[in-house]
Amino acid sequence: MNDQVVGDPQTPAPEVKGEVVGPTRKQKAIKEIKSITLIISVVMVFRSVFFEPFRIPSGSMIPTLMIGDFILVNKFAYGFKLPFSDFSLGSINWSPIYIFKRDAPKRGDVIVFKYPKDPAVNYIKRVVGLPGDSIKISNKVVYINNKKIETKEIPGKEIMSDMDDKFRSYNLKFYETKTGEHTHVIQQDSDNYYKVDFNERIIPKDKFFVMGDNRDFSYDSRFWGFVPSENIKGRALFVWFSMILPFSEHAFKFRPWRIGTGIN
């Protein structure tokens, strides 16, 4: 008796053309590199054009901003720039190319800008004087167009409780004031008479006079002059994190209550 064949004896066996294999290790690596490069490029463009985080390393803007605050800056607050057109590094300093401009900085805005003496360094201060304004300071009182910026002394106990240790030993007084449409607090050292006056000057076109809210501990326009409009990177929006890192020159602090604080 003949052996029976299982299956359809009329269906030919499939031809084996070779084993199908997936992408090689090299191809996978190239694909990963492309993906990472794309992600980094998108993030860098976003930071250059829309929003960029910064960390506050010094106390020149206390009590508005504390040492260790991490802030978010609106890079298109004053116009939409071509990505990376305001790049600065070492001796390289490019002026921004605006695709379209919006309103210029307003009095009282807290801005991040390239320090005019070294554009590779970013500074943050408050706009006090606008182009065309006359500005003078007499006995620490600021006058814009011969009009005094009013201040009102306020208790500083709550501010002092959050103060960085570096400034606790000074004879500080706190004043509520209004710069433009921005109501905020400044602080002054009653024992400091180093820079109490600034002779009257007219602010040139396309330039701004800026000051720190920590008036006696701020290196600003009183010392090095005006900020050109092309140096301005954006307007500070809010604090998204606040911590002085361990092993820094300042004592460790974590301030969760400052997270989400708007910058006025």
**pLDDT one digit per residue (tens) for the chain, 264 residues:** 433 333 444 445 455 455 555 678 888 888 888 888 888 888 877 777 789 999 999 999 999 999 999 999 999 999 999 998 988 888 889 999 989 888 899 999 999 999 999 999 999 999 999 999 999 999 999 999 999 999 999 999 999 988 888 888 899 999 999 999 999 999 999 998 878 899 999 999 999 999 999 999 999 999 999 999 999 999 999 999 999 988 777 788 999 999 999 999
18 found inside a domain: no
Phi, psi of 230 (to 5 degrees): -70, -15
Q: What's the burial of 104, exposed, middle or buried (CB within 10 Å: 0-12/13-18/19+)?
A: middle
60 found inside a domain: yes
193 found inside a domain: yes
Regarding beta strands 51-55 and 198-202, do their DSSP bridges make them parallel or antiparallel, or are they unpaired? unpaired
222 found inside a domain: yes
pLDDT at 251: 81
Residue 166's CB: how many other CB atoms inside 10 A? 15
CATH of the domain at 179: 2.10.109.10
Q: What's the burial of 216, exposed, middle or buried (CB within 10 Å: 0-12/13-18/19+)?
A: buried
The closest of 125, 143, 113 to 211, measured between CA atoms, is 125
pLDDT at 44: 79
Please identify which of the residues 75, 81, 114, 125 carries the catalytic annotation: 125
pLDDT at 22: 64
Number of domains in the chain: 1
9 found inside a domain: no
The closest of 117, 111, 116, 155 to 130, measured between CA atoms, is 111
Where in the sequence is the domain holding 64, given as residue range(s)?
52-258
* Angle in degrees, CA 135, 141, 146, rounded to 5: 40
pLDDT at 168: 86
Sequence-distant (6+) residues with CB within 8 A of 43 are: none
pLDDT at 100: 87
195 found inside a domain: yes
Determine whether 125 is an active site residue.
Answer: yes
Specify the amino acid at residue 57: P
Question: pTM of the entire structure?
Answer: 0.85
Residue 144's CB: how many other CB atoms inside 10 A? 19
Q: Given 3-state DSSP classes, what are the helix, strand and coil percentages for the chain, each rounded to the nearest 5? A: 15, 35, 45
181 found inside a domain: yes
**CA–CA distance, 229 with 166 (Å, rounded to integer):** 33
75 found inside a domain: yes
| Torsion of Cα atoms, 74 then 76 then 78 then 79, to 10° | 180
How many Å is the maximal CA-CA distance in the chain? 122
Q: Do residues 209 and 236 touch, judged by C-beta distance below 8 A?
A: no
Sequence-distant (6+) residues with CB within 8 A of 172 are: 156, 160, 187, 188, 189, 190
Please identify which of the residues 60, 88, 218, 229 carries the catalytic annotation: 60
The upper half-sphere exposure of residue 45, i.e. CA atoms within 13 Å in the direction of its Cβ, equals 7
